Structure 1
């Protein structure tokens, strides 16, 4: 689920916690009144939504300026902390897109390479493929223009639980035909990002999680992020479904590249400031590679190649699964922020409410204006 709200150009924040990716104790002054209002905004979110807990992080010009956690991490009443990790659902997609661009920057991959057919990156891995698939490129999958496998009631990544990921992919390629020519329409596809995970494995010779943690997340200072499982892990919140679905019935390893990661908001912000295209902190991608992820495949598209984008040069993504809601954004004015809640479910508007909450926090710190 991805929202496309009208966005302002910056956010606000609170207590400074040092430089992203370092142990520095550098401090920026945030007035007590601003901190108080930010905290009241978070508490109002909990009251109005019934969410057990919410956690947020804000960076400006590469600095982590504010991190706060509110409510409880589980129904035993354990207090939420900024160290707690959550399932981030589709916020996983910009991470996968970044991994693809790391390979492009290193000359190991081209976004124009095809997945199937003669010389296709994945040809033969999942059995014979039919000719319509042979036009799909890496860029098509990054921009949701692969031609099929829409995120709806027949989403293959969500209806084949109980089989292996390879079996799910093989069945989908064999029995779920494309509905449009590759590159002709934009249709949000979890399965397309699942395939990108397999491209990363094919090119690197390693598992998706192993390579991404070492080559993408470690340089960002976020290596503690991981692919989730059906069990609650160390530092992980408990999930309470808001609108149907069993949080612990979700096959997280199946969703790896399109929705399987677990992170704290602070870890997400550490990732964001390393891929935002700004010079305040050394990025892990070339500037043109970061910019490509935010470039639409055609003018009327909502998505770039990993991010939802708008005409104000804000990049963001939302995510939802039974028991979790997620939002992160990079703004045109040098801010990066993330917000996670431990409730959610199909049809929930919680990611949009997280979005709106973060932007309402924008005006609370004097001087943090566009």
Structure 2
């Protein structure tokens, strides 16, 4: 059996400090030596210790990645950027003082090998360590130490001047391990699958590039471990997205390795999860993956709250399939008609500020918009429309969004309102005589918010609804030219409507995490406290005899609120599903056989409610 390995720098990416899981941790990547030192000093002063440290280069630039945890432990020390001579000197000094290696990293900067290391004074068996070994030296050391009862703990491979070297340490202990090195990406995946099928878990993984080929080395160990997950060969962008995904499932980073690949860098890592059962994680994964497979969905993201706490979020598939960019829980996506509930919340805030009333007239003499938008002579019945009728879709107005103005980045609210008022078919029926779902009504509600507040629609909603709800910049109105922002997923088909004009009825972009947080603030529950009064919530969720089941921007069933959204490449749900659960789901292309989106909500909701137990933490 061929047994060699190699591993390169421990890497972790993200800036999370969390008290919600088994340990507080901070993770950073792509730090210059000076940035790493600054972060090290700051976190050390706060009681954090480095548990994983990796040096590497990207486009020739020396970088570092590290994980810190606030955990009790023996005395420890860490160094980085050492030459071979400095490393040997530091190593000898630490050994003389009773320290043993915890994490070792070898990497090439230019034509020189450099080293980073963590030591501590924990108890353990006898140990051995070697560095700057050629492949044959390493294989011999592995064989010789194995015969003496030493078990490989970590190996790091690095390439200097086109030649591969290895850095490793062993400890005398019992147990079963499997080790491999010089594996292509495909061979590594096969070895990974074989080892995990035999009950081994990943202990160390390393990547390095020799010539133009990425190679991998790893160690697997057969021992008890909590739920765990591993990824390899990730681009920097996809590593970040993967890290985000792991965090919102309750995973804690344990090990990460980065290595130079081409002109950039790639990442390998693994995480453990003591917050959720493997069976529950699999249950949620199966529901999402099955829906995506049966419906031909490229990317799906969802978030779950239990009694107002964010307990789970995960994204699957691609944010941009053409660029192989993974979808992250932190990607924002269009929510389309869920925007109506956001607009309704803005109207409720104006109601509480005594600046509007539900039965106030919208057009005509002494109305909200009458002085700005005079009623055309051929449409006198517009003067009968009230704020309440717009909210409940009983105004008689036809729907809109297909007109050229809504697709023109240069058109304004004034341009669009004037176009609508000139339309011969604007009124489908007399106001307050029947229900008919109307985007036009919510476009006009956005105009009302602007007219009364003297602010732009988005600014008013931001200041009066989202900021008080604790919802940040991940939720916003899309661009007037219909393009996506930097952290927004791409859509299939890609549509280019003026999202600024769609804002009131379908122009908001958000993360599922933002949506469930917002819902928790307008759901009538005291935990967390709402941003609107209980009496206002009663108005928000009251349907009418003409609109049974539809209140103000929300479909209602008993005490549950929900709304979906659909247009172009976006489909979405935001719903209370019973048992204290709320869920938000967004996909970035149209499902093939779920026009009502009932399968999406039912399949994901069923899985959510069948989880045996969620953690008590709050990931918001």
Which TM-score band applies after superposition, normalised by the shorter structure?
0.7 to 0.9
Q: Which residue of 2 aligns with 1:137?
A: 386
Call closer, same or farther: CA 1:38–1:255 in 2, change over 3 Å. same
Pick the aligned partner of 1:349 from 589, 595, 604: 595
1:88 counterpart = 2:335: yes
- Greater mean deviation of Cα atoms: 186-195 or 326-335: 326-335
Q: Which residue of 1 aligns with 2:440?
A: 191
Deviations 1:112-158 (A, max 9, x none): 111011111001323433320111111100000111213xxxx3555
Call closer, same or farther: CA 1:50–1:346 in 2, change over 3 Å. closer
Aligned alpha-carbon RMSD (Å):
2.3
Call closer, same or farther: CA 1:28–1:300 in 2, change over 3 Å. farther
Call closer, same or farther: CA 1:114–1:302 in 2, change over 3 Å. same
Normalised TM-score (structure 1): 0.85
Call closer, same or farther: CA 1:194–1:346 in 2, change over 3 Å. farther
Deviations 1:298-340 (A, max 9, x none): 1762311111122x33211110111111110124543221000
The answer on whether the counterparts of 2:392 and 2:547 sit within 8 Å (CA) in structure 1 is no
Q: Equivalents in 1 of 2:359, 2:446: separation in Å? A: 16
Q: Equivalents in 2 of 1:295, 1:265: separation in Å? A: 25
Alignment of 1:71-220 (within 5 A): 71-75=317-321, 76-129=323-376, 130-150=379-399, 155-156=400-401, 158-160=403-405, 161-162=407-408, 163-175=411-423, 176-220=425-469
**When the two structures are aligned, how many residues end up with a matched partner?**
336
The answer on whether the counterparts of 2:466 and 2:472 sit within 8 Å (CA) in structure 1 is yes
Q: Equivalents in 2 of 1:29, 1:346: separation in Å? A: 35
Q: Which residue of 1 aligns with 2:526?
A: 279
Q: Secondary structure, in 3 states, of the residue corresponding to 1:72? A: strand
Q: Which residue of 1 aligns with 2:584?
A: 338
Structure possessing the higher relative contact order (Cα contacts under 8 Å, 6 or more residues apart)? 1
Question: Rg: which structure is higher?
Answer: 2
Pick the aligned partner of 2:304 from 47, 58, 61: 58
1:365 counterpart = 2:611: yes
Q: Equivalents in 2 of 1:319, 1:219: separation in Å? A: 24
Q: Which residue of 1 aligns with 2:483?
A: 231
Deviations 1:232-274 (A, max 9, x none): 2021001012xxxxx2322211201100000000000110000
The answer on whether the counterparts of 1:102 and 1:285 sit within 8 Å (CA) in structure 2 is yes
Q: Secondary structure, in 3 states, of the residue corresponding to 1:91? A: helix
- Greater mean deviation of Cα atoms: 208-217 or 28-37: 28-37
Pick the aligned partner of 1:42 from 275, 280, 288: 288
The answer on whether the counterparts of 2:394 and 2:546 sit within 8 Å (CA) in structure 1 is no
Q: Secondary structure, in 3 states, of the residue corresponding to 1:327? A: strand
Call closer, same or farther: CA 1:332–1:250 in 2, change over 3 Å. same
Call closer, same or farther: CA 1:210–1:276 in 2, change over 3 Å. same
- Where do 5+ consecutive residues of structure 2 fail to align? 1-247, 252-272, 615-620
The answer on whether the counterparts of 2:361 and 2:384 sit within 8 Å (CA) in structure 1 is yes
Q: Equivalents in 1 of 2:574, 2:313: separation in Å? A: 14
Q: Which residue of 2 aligns with 1:316?
A: 562
Call closer, same or farther: CA 1:105–1:333 in 2, change over 3 Å. farther
Deviation at 1:347, TM superposition (A): 9.4
The answer on whether the counterparts of 1:326 and 1:341 sit within 8 Å (CA) in structure 2 is yes
Q: Equivalents in 2 of 1:231, 1:180: separation in Å? A: 36
The answer on whether the counterparts of 2:335 and 2:507 sit within 8 Å (CA) in structure 1 is yes
Q: Equivalents in 2 of 1:252, 1:269: separation in Å? A: 22
Deviations 1:150-205 (A, max 9, x none): 3xxxx355553334332222121232342222222110000100000011001100
- Greater mean deviation of Cα atoms: 86-95 or 116-125: 116-125
Q: Secondary structure, in 3 states, of the residue corresponding to 1:148? A: coil
The answer on whether the counterparts of 1:274 and 1:284 sit within 8 Å (CA) in structure 2 is yes
Deviation at 1:16, TM superposition (A): 5.9
The answer on whether the counterparts of 1:58 and 1:67 sit within 8 Å (CA) in structure 2 is yes
Deviation at 1:367, TM superposition (A): 6.3
Call closer, same or farther: CA 1:115–1:329 in 2, change over 3 Å. same
- Greater mean deviation of Cα atoms: 172-181 or 60-69: 172-181
Normalised TM-score (structure 2): 0.52
The answer on whether the counterparts of 2:594 and 2:600 sit within 8 Å (CA) in structure 1 is no
Q: Secondary structure, in 3 states, of the residue corresponding to 1:65? A: strand
- Greater mean deviation of Cα atoms: 114-123 or 282-291: 282-291
The answer on whether the counterparts of 1:344 and 1:350 sit within 8 Å (CA) in structure 2 is no
Q: Secondary structure, in 3 states, of the residue corresponding to 2:319? A: coil
- Where do 5+ consecutive residues of structure 1 fail to align? 1-13, 18-26, 242-246
Call closer, same or farther: CA 1:253–1:300 in 2, change over 3 Å. closer
